[in-house]
Amino acid sequence: MMRNGKESLVLVAGGAGFIGSHLCQALVDRGHSVVCLDNLQTARPSNLRALERLPGFEFIEHDVVQPLPASVRERTDRFTQIYNLACAASPPQYQADPEHTMLTNVVGTDHLLKLAEAAGARFLLTSTSEVYGDPEMHPQRESYRGFVSCTGPRACYDEGKRAAETLTFDYARMGRAEVRVARIFNTYGPHMHPDDGRVVSNLICQALSGREITIYGDGSQTRSFCYVSDLVDGLLRLMDSESDGMEPVNLGNPNELTVNELLGHILKLTGSDAPVVHKPLPKDDPRRRRPDIGRAKARLGWEPRVPLAEGLEKTVAWFAEELDAPVRTGRGRRQWTDMPAVAASAV
Ligand code: NAD
Ligand code: UDP
Closest ligand 2 atom, residue 206 Cα: 8
Q: Nearest Cα to 81, choosing from 116, 54, 110, 111?
A: 116
State if residue 18 touches ligand 1 by the CB under 6 angstroms criterion. Answer: yes
Of 334 and 19, the one with more pLDDT: 19
Q: Which residues contact 95 (CB under 8 A, 6 or more apart)?
A: 101, 153, 154, 156, 157, 347
pLDDT score recorded for residue 340: 34
Ligand 1 mean position to 13 CA, how many Å?
9
Ligand 2 mean position to 256 CA, how many Å?
14
Percent share of the chain, pLDDT over 90: 89
- Return mean pLDDT, the chain: 92
SS3 125: strand
pLDDT score recorded for residue 330: 32
Ligand nearest to the CA of 213: 2
- CATH superfamily, with its number, for domain 7-187+226-251: NAD(P)-binding Rossmann-like Domain (3.40.50.720)
pLDDT score recorded for residue 326: 59
Closest ligand 1 atom, residue 20 Cα: 26
Ligand nearest to the CA of 342: 2
Q: 148, 223, 312: which to mutate for ligand 2, most atoms within 8 A of CB?
A: 223
State if residue 21 touches ligand 1 by the CB under 6 angstroms criterion. Answer: no
Q: 19, 22, 165: which to mutate for ligand 1, most atoms within 8 A of CB?
A: 19
C-alpha pair distances (Å), 11 with each of 31, 87, 188, 235: 14, 15, 23, 14
pLDDT score recorded for residue 345: 33
Is 160 in contact with 101 (CB distance < 8 Å)?
yes
Atom 25 of ligand 2, residue of closest alpha carbon: 186
Is 291 in contact with 252 (CB distance < 8 Å)?
yes
Judge whether residue 333 has pLDDT over 70. Answer: no
State if residue 108 touches ligand 1 by the CB under 6 angstroms criterion. Answer: yes
Ligand nearest to the CA of 187: 1
Instruction: Give the active site residue among 83, 94, 132, 157.
Output: 157
Ligand 2 neighbours by CB, cut-off 6 Å = 90-91, 186, 198-199, 202, 214-216, 221, 223, 259, 281-282, 285
Judge whether residue 296 has pLDDT over 70. Answer: yes
pLDDT tens per residue, range 72-121: 999 999 999 999 999 999 999 999 999 999 999 999 999 999 999 999 99
pLDDT score recorded for residue 327: 59
State if residue 339 touches ligand 1 by the CB under 6 angstroms criterion. Answer: no
Of 6 and 141, the one with more pLDDT: 141
Q: What is the DSSP string of 62-113?
A: --TTSPPPHHHHTTGGGEEEEEE--S--SHHHHHHSHHHHHHIIIIIHHHHH
Judge whether residue 321 has pLDDT over 80. Answer: yes
State if residue 14 touches ligand 1 by the CB under 6 angstroms criterion. Answer: yes
The C-alpha atoms of residue 72 and residue 83 are separated, in whole angstroms, by 14
The C-alpha atoms of residue 35 and residue 33 are separated, in whole angstroms, by 7
Helix (H) or strand (E) segment spanning residue 183: strand 178-184
Task: Judge whether 157 counts as a catalytic residue.
Answer: yes
Which 8-state DSSP code applies to residue 129? Answer: G
Of 279 and 338, the one with more pLDDT: 279
Local confidence band at 146 (pLDDT 50, 70, 90 cut-offs): very high
Ligand nearest to the CA of 285: 2
Q: How crowded is residue 29: how many other Cβ atoms within 10 Å of its Cβ?
A: 10
Ligand 1 mean position to 16 CA, how many Å?
9
Q: Give the global pTM.
A: 0.94
State if residue 19 touches ligand 1 by the CB under 6 angstroms criterion. Answer: yes
Is 208 in contact with 319 (CB distance < 8 Å)?
yes
C-alpha pair distances (Å), 345 with each of 99, 189, 225, 247, 337: 20, 20, 20, 35, 20
Ligand 1 mean position to 41 CA, how many Å?
9
Mean pLDDT of 10-23: 98
pLDDT tens per residue, range 198-253: 999 999 999 999 999 999 999 999 999 999 999 999 999 999 999 888 999 999 99
